[in-house]
Amino acid sequence: MPPLRSGVVLLRRARSLAALVGILLLAIAISPTASDGSRIFLQAGNLTDILRQVSLIGIISLAMTFVILTGGIDLSVGSILALSTALVAMFLTRGYTTHIAVAILAAVAAAALAGALNGVVIARTGIQPFIVTLASMIGVRGLAKWLTNNQNIDIGFGRDLAAGFAAVFREKAIVIGAYAAAAALFWVVLARSVFGRHVRAVGDNEKAAAYAGLPIRATKIWVYTLSGLFTGLAGVLYAAENHQGNPNAGVAYELDAIAAVVIGGTRLSGGQGSISGTIVGTLIMGVLTNMLRLNNVDSNVEMMIKAVIIVLAVAVQRERSGN
Amino acid sequence: MGITKRYGGVYALKGANFSLRAGEVHALIGENGAGKSTLARILAGSTRADSGAISIRGAPVEIASPLDAQRLGIGIIYQELDLFGSLTAGENIVIGNLHFPEGRLVGFRRMEEFCRPFLRQVGLDCDIRQTVATLSIGQMQLLAIARALSMDARIILMDEPTSSLFDDAAERLFGLIAALQQRGVSIVYVSHKMDEIFRVSDRATVLRDGETIGTVEMASTSVGALIRMMVGRELKIAPRAARRPAGEIVLAAENLTTAKLREVSFELRSGEVLGIAGLVGSGRSELGAALFGIDRVTSGTLRVRGELRAPRSPRDAMAAGIGLLPEDRRLQGLMMRMSVLENATLAVLPQISALGFIHRRRENASLAPVARRLALHYPSPAAPVSQLSGGNQQKVLLARWLLLNPAVLFLDDPTRGIDIGAKQDVYRLIGELAAAGKAIILVSSELPELLRCCDRILVLNEGRVTAHYHAAEATQEKIMSAATNAGARA
């Protein structure tokens, strides 16, 4: 990379990274101490807790990065997550199948289908993604509630199939591992694949992408499908972690995911952004939450502080890049 | 007045002079890019001059904003009509209007009283509560004129007013111009349609490359004389390359018709350069859009290497061996946030990837040979394309097509806004491609460029082919008169 370009990129990444380091240092500094004098924040258990807590939003925000890179947005992820938790719990507890894999596959496939529907409508009709996914945010939530009669489907602690599923998929290692694997996948696809190049090109200049003969519709359909698919995976992990299929799960998750993406330096209008930035953005939010909770800050105050952090993080990155 | 306007390092106007008498219709003419519209915008206050002075009735004035222009009695009717589409006709007239006594609330009755006389004057019979988007283009134009009149304009600038009008609407406009003139309103009429200019104007000022060439009385000049003034630059054309024997027919259009083209027919052979001359809006870019699968062909046929085939999308066109370098490289060509390398390889990714993943080394290696061929200069392959000069940006786009290597390449004004050195590189490339058996269609606003590069030249006007010359028989005057409707008068 030429000095100027890499300089700008580095500065940008460094700024969101610097924000993360700053918050980490602050978290360490104000961390309450355990009886042996060590800082609770730095305990291995706490640090892995943070990773586990951010994993679900983290997975969703990876796919959201692709959506936003094309110049779109996906507001339906919270509802799709709820649909996925409901379906996996139904399959596990109602005897539809005897295989955990089938239940997971069904939930993820339904979620991917919902995403694909978003993509097809957006690509075919040209209606703004905000409106299309706002509609499916409402519709898919309705579907999840209708399927479950608006009841939570509990996954027990006994010895049945569902309990076995929950025991495995709520393991910290599995959850964090899933996030890490998804992050690696999205990073490679964006940096190295033809599809990743198309995603950025479409978001950078859709008209020029058309003149270059790029498959614009297919690219859009795929990013929303991936968004649905990975949100479905996050829903499976959610069901295991919370021991239930919950049609009311995931409310406002779309906003957390979008926040992570923009804190990570991705332009909301598309064409520019990175997976590494999104990961940093996700971690900033996670560490902040953990820090405030360790210090017993009221959760309402926590939201107010987060609001300030989001605006600050984006303002700081805009200042230098000039767009 | 000596008005100068620079855009970056490029002069749009170089000490242009222009004077307007009371109650006259004064045409401002010149080729594309001669500075007509820039001069009109400076007078209307939407652009500021870098140097020079403007005076009205002998008094020096400063026009720093459209509001200043309004106070001085200058109104402008832009080519693209600056109306608010979702507001009503009445609101469009009174908004920002210094002569409308504005209260805190706008009453439609008061608006009606204010607007009606002006609407009657221009002969526009519409409800002032009607939204502008529901009006026809001709009605919108009348509304814009009514607005200028309501601002008590004594000088009205019209930039290509008939470019989107049909014949009867244009007739109405000419009648209105005559009526305004009777009332002592002066009109500056920017156009390159010769028949109109002779019909409506008293005098004409010719601009060329930002300079005033001269002002003439219409009564004592001719179409031919004006055209010579418009194009009469020193022709510094390097001798044409020796004629190549043309190959087989690769592209044949017969009565090709789209929303913007009327029964266009031509043949293109391999190794041939076909020039397309015509003004902006003549259908020259739309021809590319039809060949490249962007505009739908409504009737007529297109044969690619003898096979009946009308591309339905750019992808389809590329598969058929047709490439298109678009007219506006920033809007239609480049991804400004992507690198030089990424922009160049965008259309050939399938060829340099395996299983959907880009082969890094093959991608990096692909750029150097075409960059050498184009004399493309870039700081590094990863440099953002936005950092390059206009000429080098255009070469990056050309590199995209050289990598894809289509049999037919449609170049839409490839030298627009690039420096002389880069232009020479583009000319050389066109010659090389033709020598290598490619078929080239070259659209250009610069006639010397067409005369230099092409074997044959097709002239388009209002979507139709109005003339077809072999390079040897074509002259700038002939092409210009075929492109400007002057044929009927000359």
Query: Residue ranges per domain, chain A?
Result: 55-251+268-273
| Cross-chain residue pair A193–B379, CB shorter than 8 Å | no
**The model's pTM:** 0.80
**What pLDDT does residue A323 have?**
39
Looking up tokens 């690039």 gives: B418
Do residues B208 and B341 share a domain? no
pLDDT band of B449, cuts 50, 70, 90: confident
pLDDT in tens, B233-274: 544 445 455 556 778 999 999 999 998 899 999 999 999 999
Q: Report if residue B237 sits inside a domain.
A: no
Co-location of B102 and B225 in the same domain: yes
**Looking at the partner chain, which of A2, A205, A271 has a beta carbon nearest the beta carbon of B383?**
A2
Question: Treating both helix axes as pointing N-terminal to C-terminal, what angle do A216-242 and A172-192 enclose, rounded to 10 degrees?
Answer: 170
Same domain assignment for residues B257 and B206: no
Instruction: Specify the pLDDT at position A281.
Output: 93
Q: Which residues of A touch B (CB under 8 A)?
A: 1-2, 4-5, 192-195, 197-198, 200-201, 204-205, 207-215, 271-272
**B331 contacts in chain A (CB < 8 Å):** 205, 207-208
What is the overall mean pLDDT for chain A?
91
- Domain membership of residue B361 (yes or no) is yes
Distance from CA of B358 to the nearest CA of A (A): 5
Q: Which residue of A has its CA nearest to B384?
A: A5
Q: Which of B231, B265, B285 is the last residue of a domain?
A: B231
Q: Is residue B238 in a domain? A: no
Distance CA A165, CA B388 (A): 56
Nearest CA in chain B to A205: B335
Tell me: pLDDT of B488 over 50. no
- Same domain for B453 and B356: yes
Do both B341 and B478 map to the same domain?
yes
Q: Which of B84-98, B305-319, B339-353 has the lowest mean pLDDT?
A: B84-98
Pick from B231, B265, B292: which residue ends a domain? B231
Q: Do B357 and A193 touch (CB under 8 A)?
A: yes
Contact residues, chain A, for B318 at CB < 8 Å: 213
Domain check: are B258 and B210 in the same one? no
**What would the pLDDT profile of A155-182 be if each residue is shown by its tens digit?**
988 788 899 999 999 999 999 999 999 9
What's residue B165's pLDDT?
Answer: 67
Please give the average per-residue pLDDT across B53-77, as a whole number: 87
Q: Is the pLDDT of residue B280 over 80?
A: no
Residues A227-279 pLDDT 10s: 999 999 999 999 999 999 999 999 999 999 999 999 998 988 899 999 999 99
Whether residue B379 sits in one domain with residue B288: yes
B239 lies in some domain: no
Considering only CB atoms, A5 lies closest to which of B347, B353, B384, namely: B384
Nearest chain B residue to A204 by CA: give it: B335
Share of chain A above pLDDT 90, in %: 76
**CATH number for the domain that contains residue B10:** 3.40.50.300
| Shared-domain flag, residues B268 and B359 | yes
* Among candidate residues B254, B248, B260, the one with its CA nearest the CA of residue B302: B254
CB contacts, 8 Å: A271 with chain B: 335, 337-338
Is residue B240 situated within a structural domain? no
How much is the pLDDT for B236? 46
Q: What local confidence, expressed as pLDDT, does residue A322 receive? A: 40
Statement to judge: residues B185 and B86 lie in one domain: yes
pLDDT in tens, B104-119: 677 788 888 888 888 8
Indicate the range of A8-22, A24-38, B377-391 predicted with least confidence. A8-22
Cα radius of gyration (chain A): 20
- Residue with the bigger pLDDT between B161 and A214: it is A214
Please indicate, yes or no, if residue B241 is contained in any of the structural domains: no
- Across residues B348-356, what is the average pLDDT? 93
**Which domain-ending residue is among B177, B200, B231?**
B231
Indicate if B180 and B253 belong to the same structural domain: no
Where residue B6 falls among pLDDT bands split at 50, 70, 90? Answer: low
| Chain B residues with beta carbon closer than 8 angstroms to that of A211 | 292, 294, 314, 324, 326, 332-333
- Cα dihedral sign for A236, A241, A247, A252? negative
CB contact under 8 A, A200 and B350: no
Number of structural domains, chain B? 2
Question: Is B314 in Cβ contact with A211 (below 8 Å)?
Answer: yes
Nearest chain A Cα distance for residue B309, angstroms:
17
Reported ipTM = 0.88
**Strands B408-412, B439-443: pairing kind:** parallel
Q: What is the mean pLDDT of residues B385-414?
A: 92
Do B175 and B285 have their domain in common?
A: no
Interchain contact, B383 vs A192, CB within 8 Å? no
Do B24 and B142 belong to one domain?
Answer: yes
Q: What is the domain extent for residue B449?
A: 249-488
pLDDT of residue A159: 80
Report how far residue B212's alpha carbon sits from residue B194's, in angstroms, rounded to the nearest whole number.
Answer: 18
A1, A193, A211 member nearest B333 (Cβ): A211
B331 and A207 within 8 Å at the Cβ level: the answer is: yes
Assess whether pLDDT exceeds 90 at residue B44.
no
Residue B171 falls within a domain, yes or no?
yes
3-state secondary structure chain A: CCHHHHHHHHHHHHHHHHHHHHHHHHHHHHCCECCCCCEHHHCHHHHHHHHHHHHHHHHHHHHHHHHHHCCCCCCCHHHHHHHHHHHHHHHHHCCCCCCHHHHHHHHHHHHHHHHHHHHHHHHHHCCCHHHHHHHHHHHHHHHHHHHHCCCCEECCCCCCHHHHHHHHHCCHHHHHHHHHHHHHHHHHHHHHEHHHHHHHHHHHCHHHHHHCCCCHHHHHHHHHHHHHHHHHHHHHHHHHHHCEECCCCCCCHHHHHHHHHHHCCCCCCCCCCCHHHHHHHHHHHHHHHHHHHHCCCCHHHHHHHHHHHHHHHHHHHHHHHCC
Domain-embedded: residue B236: no
**Of residues B292, B317, B335, nearest to A201 (C-beta):** B335
Residue B177 CA to residue B200 CA, distance in Å, equals: 8
